[in-house]
Structure 1
Amino acid sequence: MQPKAHAPSFFMADELRQELINRHLITMAQVDEADVPAVPAEVDGYHSLFPLEPLPPPNRVPGAGSLGCVTSCYKAVSGRDALAYCLRRVHGFRLVNTRCMVLVDMWKKLQHSNIVTLREVFTTKAFAEPSLVFAYDFHAGGETLLSRHFNDPSADAYFSKRKWGPRPAPPARLPPESLLWAYVVQLSSALRTIHAAGLACRVLEPSKVLVTGRSRLRVNCVGVCDVLTFDNSQSSNPLALMAQYQQADLVALGKLVLALACNSALVVQRDNVPRALELVSLHYSADLKNLVLYLLAEPGRPRSVHDIMPMIGARFYTQLDAAQMRSDVIEEDLAKEVQNGRLFRLLAKLGTINERPEFQKDPAWAETGDRYLLKLFRDHLFHQVTAAGAPWIDLSHIVSCLNKLDAGVPERISLSSRDAKSVLVVTYGDLKRCFENTFQELLAAGAAE
């Protein structure tokens, strides 16, 4: 997102507004219980569950999923803070060894911009069977790398095994290299934080990495493998086992980058790796190929995610510049909405005063004294007409007058009654005094009840 040269506007950019509206709609989505009876009304303090993906069939074979078990995902609202969360349910799971909660506590403390934060893990029977539920932060509108990038039939056909006929042509449309490096920077940053905390990701695959916006990545489902595969044997030498998992994370990163570069998840098969590297050599720089080769090579010594930083090189500054530029654009739009919020509060207060039917047993309260000046000012704001008597609508006039009222400037303003028989000349400072005194009178009367 870059700053655009356009005419000044009182409102945020249409693109950002639409994105926020879409996220809000997804956050507020609710399910019809008649259509999805398998979804309970409440699960351990979470309510308004909404499936984020198709629910698995009742007869699905355990172990068929990418996590080695049957899972389902829901958006839910917490009764504690009224915020939306993502619940990842593991079907038919009984938690036998509670020592894994030590790792869960470590994941809960981990905060990173490229990791979906784990909030809590609990067991429940609300789904009519024992289930283990992982509660994560909810990022509305997110989609997986699998659905975003791995939908090119020509790429899958190129890497599929064929016993007869000529091999199809290589895919014509591949992701730009700048996007791949943006992904590498974010994923390596997430791994760096995870490994520094003494943990391992273990879910670095296309179906477990979320994409929000154009290129923002977040590693999802962290901590699930640590709980599902935990046993007492891990307590004998946990550091050595975690080091193995961290080395496996680097291999998984290499496979993910290679699959993204070729637009196909089939490239991770051993027979397809040479052909995939050849495709990378033809379409991308030598740095990207060297990065993939380093990550996929059989390690002669323990490797670290820090080793790939020299391969990223100055591309890191490109991503930093893009992030800061997006921050500038969003802050500029946020500043507009701060001003709009201030003006909205002024209009809300003005609306509580104008045309009030009765106050303190006086039906004419809103038409006399200071309130009469505010009524004339309301007409000056919204009921202007041209010389021909047609409505004259100018947003800049409304905004300018409200700003002057809020500041109480000494500028004089001429207010005319609707019958044009009386004209009052006052300053915005006088109007502000009338406005504040009248609103405080309403507040005091409301507090006294």
Structure 2
Amino acid sequence: MDPTAAAGSEKMDVYGLMFNRPNGGVPQESKLATYMGTASTSQVLNKGIASLSLDNLSMKKVLGNEFVPNSASAGNFTYSGITANAESPAAKSYNPEYAGEPSASMLNSTSQRLARHRETPPLDALGDAQNMSMTSTYQNVGGTTYFYPTSGTGSSTPTRADSSPMVMPNFHAYPGTPSHLTKAPSASSPNRATQPTQQPSMSSTSHTTHLTNSLGSYYLLEEFRLELLNRNALVLAQPNGPAYPDLPAEIDNYHELCSLEPVAGANQKTSQVISYQTSTLKATHTKSGARFCLRRVHGFRLANLKCMANMDSWKRIQHSNIVQIKEVFTTKAFNDNSIVFVYDYHPGAETLMSKHFSASDQANGFPDPFNGDHNVARPYSHTKNALLRQHASLLPEPLIWSYVIQLTSALRTIHNAGLAYRCLHPSKVILTDGNVPRLRLSFCGIADVVMFDATANVSMATVHQQEDLLALGRLVLALACKSMLAVKRENIQTSLELVSRSYSSDLRNLIVYLLSNSTRRSVSDLMPMIGARFYTQLDATQQRCDLLENEVSKEIENGRLVRLLTKLGIINERPELNMDQTWSENGDRYMLKLFRDYVFHQVSEDGKPWIDMAHIVSCLNKLDAGTDEQICLMSRDEQSVLVVTYAELKHCLEQSFDEIVQAANAFS
């Protein structure tokens, strides 16, 4: 026999004995041997050693039933010193996909690697072409056995054979807040309405703050969560039948009618835009289940179908600042002749009137001349002084310009379609998305039907468009003075003086241009007056989009962690399996039990529970990915310590869960 071959066989024998210990790889003198109840592998070891050869050094396979990280379910690890020829049982089960040299299809593109992240070994994230040369060592200290893998060079860092400049992961996890969002302006700043929300700071050292910041970093911000929950609650709200007995159970194709404002009564005033009473309802479509907003015009009889000519044009308008109209129908379900306009429903919206103006818009006790009793005394001097005293609570100019940009954008779309809004009033402009205000024009198309004039010609559309611009000037002036009294004819000059002292000349020139009737105006003519402020609005909108995308990315993989926790909950502390009452305390299940304590039962130095969401989420992500990072698991009596990798824990988890599934299918 060749001495070199004999020496090689002896060397292989030593490595085989090292890697194929009884009791699942745990030495007999270790206290962990009582927990690792796997079958003996001596027969398989002898058979494998007999077939060892040095003919093929490129194929590495560990023999026996012992779990090692190069198994198909654990990762792409190989151990040096053990080879098998083509005729050996190990070579017959050899899979070339996990060899040291990758196939061409595995290196075609990173997209193919990501597509295989659920089927390939979890440690394939380290590269498809990987050749690690590792040995396993252990140390017995005072009756406690520590064992861990090390490389042949004494380092646990894998040797990378892939020449690619980067290696794509085969798992998904939230990578953290992007750097361009870490310095977002504070939500409590004066210009909060036009700025994105600031992320929580991670620099605090207190335990309470650390817990709060960890939650904000890994999960949806509480501000967004509460806003979405509030919207969902409004969408799912059910009608209060005893409070509103006059509401019908169903009209046309809609049911579950809920009033969004007090139901019109005998003393209800008419709309501030049209000469009819109106009411707003939320309803559910019978066929689709979607929620819509219904605008009902009381006591209107549709006498001429020509007034519906513009409805098709209104339905085709889709704009981010316009509430789209869906359909129009008449009904007698309210015991009168009513016409109902169906719009998209935006839960939680409020009008500009309720947001920035008081209910009665009183000036130091004197009511609004538009809505109050004209017989009530309202001295001119007192009204003028009241307007001047509004200076301390005026709206910030960036917010007003944001409103102007959104309103002009909506009017431009309407006018380009050959239509006119005709309802530009604070009570008809709704405000959504409180952090970055989004204006939407509601009540669209109602004036074209209710105030239809059969004798009017086509040129009346141009007249109505000019009236829209005049109404826009009044609205901007009222917002700048924060009072509806400002648009009264005798108060115009005083209001403009207040605007001149409080805001820039550009805003004053815009208002003067809109209020003038001497020239024919166009929405496009307002663009030079807006100027570079348009870019500020665009930047704020895009920052808001980045922030929302970041928040969505936190939640996109939460279902994956829930599935992982479900598997752990099914395995841990299971009373029995297949009549074995100690199943959950032996073998792989014991490692998972110690891992459960490591993740969820951490304590501080003084014995207090340590709740660290960052630690929990990080450990679960590493377990799902099956990384090669080592952790130290300790039993509750501190007599057993086990150093394992997340790849080994993932193998234990999958194997234990498969046993439960097989047992469940056997009795089904």
Instruction: Give the TM-score taking structure 2 as reference length.
Output: 0.59
Candidates 529, 535, 541, aligned match of 1:317: 535
Candidates 54, 58, 70, aligned match of 2:262: 54
Identity, in percent, stands at 53
Displacement of 1:64 in angstroms is: 5.2
Question: Per-residue CA shift, 1:156-203, capped at 9, x if unaligned?
Answer: 959869675843522333222222211111100111111122221111
Q: As a proportion of its length, which structure holds more helix?
A: 1
Candidates 396, 400, 407, aligned match of 1:187: 407
Report whether the alignment pairs 1:26 with 2:234.
Answer: yes
Aligned residues: 443
Answer yes or no: is the 8 Å Cα contact 2:632–2:643 preserved in 1.
yes
Instruction: Give the TM-score taking structure 1 as reference length.
Output: 0.84
1:241-280 equivalence runs, <5 A: 241-280=460-499
| Cα distance change, pair 109–439 in 1 and its aligned pair in 2 (3 A) | farther
1:150-229 equivalence runs, <5 A: 150-151=357-358, 153-154=362-363, 157=366, 166-168=381-383, 169=385, 170-172=388-390, 173-212=393-432, 213-214=434-435, 215-229=437-451
Name the CA distance, whole Å, in 2 between partners of 1:92 and 1:370.
Answer: 75
Name the CA distance, whole Å, in 2 between partners of 1:165 and 1:272.
Answer: 9
Question: Per-residue CA shift, 1:40-99, capped at 9, x if unaligned?
Answer: 3333343333221111114647x5553321111122333444443222122233434444
Displacement of 1:319 in angstroms is: 1.5
- Please give the secondary structure, in 1, of the residue aligned with 2:336: coil
Report whether the alignment pairs 1:138 with 2:345.
Answer: yes
Name the CA distance, whole Å, in 1 between partners of 2:453 and 2:441.
Answer: 24
| Cα distance change, pair 227–159 in 1 and its aligned pair in 2 (3 A) | closer
- Please give the secondary structure, in 1, of the residue aligned with 2:340: strand
Q: Match of 2:293?
A: 86
- Please give the secondary structure, in 2, of the residue aligned with 1:290: helix
Gaps of 5+ in 2: 1-194, 203-212
Report whether the alignment pairs 1:13 with 2:221.
Answer: yes
Name the CA distance, whole Å, in 2 between partners of 1:369 and 1:106.
Answer: 71
Answer yes or no: is the 8 Å Cα contact 2:219–2:555 preserved in 1.
yes
| Cα distance change, pair 401–197 in 1 and its aligned pair in 2 (3 A) | same
Name the CA distance, whole Å, in 2 between partners of 1:81 and 1:364.
Answer: 53
Q: Match of 1:105?
A: 312
Question: Per-residue CA shift, 1:18-52, capped at 9, x if unaligned?
Answer: 33333333333334312221233333343333221
Answer yes or no: is the 8 Å Cα contact 2:273–2:423 preserved in 1.
no
Name the CA distance, whole Å, in 2 between partners of 1:312 and 1:295.
Answer: 13
- Please give the secondary structure, in 2, of the residue aligned with 1:154: coil
Answer yes or no: is the 8 Å Cα contact 1:156–1:266 preserved in 2.
no
Answer yes or no: is the 8 Å Cα contact 1:65–1:71 preserved in 2.
no
- Backbone CA RMSD of aligned residues: 3.5
Name the CA distance, whole Å, in 1 between partners of 2:428 and 2:592.
Answer: 58
Q: Residue type matched to 2:293 in 1?
A: C
Candidates 474, 499, 513, aligned match of 1:294: 513
| Cα distance change, pair 79–415 in 1 and its aligned pair in 2 (3 A) | farther
Answer yes or no: is the 8 Å Cα contact 1:46–1:76 preserved in 2.
yes
Displacement of 1:295 in angstroms is: 1.2
Report whether the alignment pairs 1:334 with 2:541.
Answer: no
Gaps of 5+ in 1: none
Q: Residue type matched to 2:347 in 1?
A: A
| Cα distance change, pair 90–158 in 1 and its aligned pair in 2 (3 A) | closer
Answer yes or no: is the 8 Å Cα contact 2:328–2:341 preserved in 1.
yes
Candidates 66, 77, 83, aligned match of 2:273: 66
Name the CA distance, whole Å, in 2 between partners of 1:181 and 1:384.
Answer: 53
Structure number with greater Rg is 2
Name the CA distance, whole Å, in 2 between partners of 1:354 and 1:82.
Answer: 42
Question: Per-residue CA shift, 1:297-342, capped at 9, x if unaligned?
Answer: 11443x2100011111112122222222223333333333335454
Q: Match of 2:19?
A: none
